[in-house]
């Protein structure tokens, strides 16, 4: 059973099930590292080659995480 998430208008949850970043509607992943981690069944990390990019982290800070419905 998949969980429901709420995003800001015009945004959706990243396609990586463990990522809570918001992406613009029509975009699947928040960054290439998140796509690679999901495709390879790896966890996304805080640093290194499987970490969110700096630009991705800045967008996350600006947009905030997706959240569970109230």
Which residues face 6 on adjacent strands?
67
Reduced to 3 states (helix: H, G, I; strand: E, B; else coil), residue 33 is helix
User: Which phi-psi region, left, alpha or beta, contains residue 48 (left: φ > 0; alpha: ψ -120 to 50)?
Assistant: left
Q: How many CB atoms lie within 10 A of CB 51?
A: 16
> What pLDDT sits at residue 12?
95
Q: What is the pLDDT of residues 23-62, one digit of tens each?
A: 999 999 999 999 999 999 988 887 887 799 999 999 999 9
Helix (H) or strand (E) holding 60: helix 54-63
């Amino acid at each position: 059973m998949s969980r429901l998430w709420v995003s800001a208008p015009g945004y959706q949850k990243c396609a990586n099930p463990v990522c809570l970043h918001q992406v613009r509607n029509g975009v699947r992943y928040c960054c290439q590292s998140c796509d690679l981690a999901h495709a390879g069944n790896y966890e996304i990390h805080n640093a290194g080659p499987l970490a969110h990019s700096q630009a991705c982290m800045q967008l996350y800070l600006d947009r905030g995480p997706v959240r569970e419905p109230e």
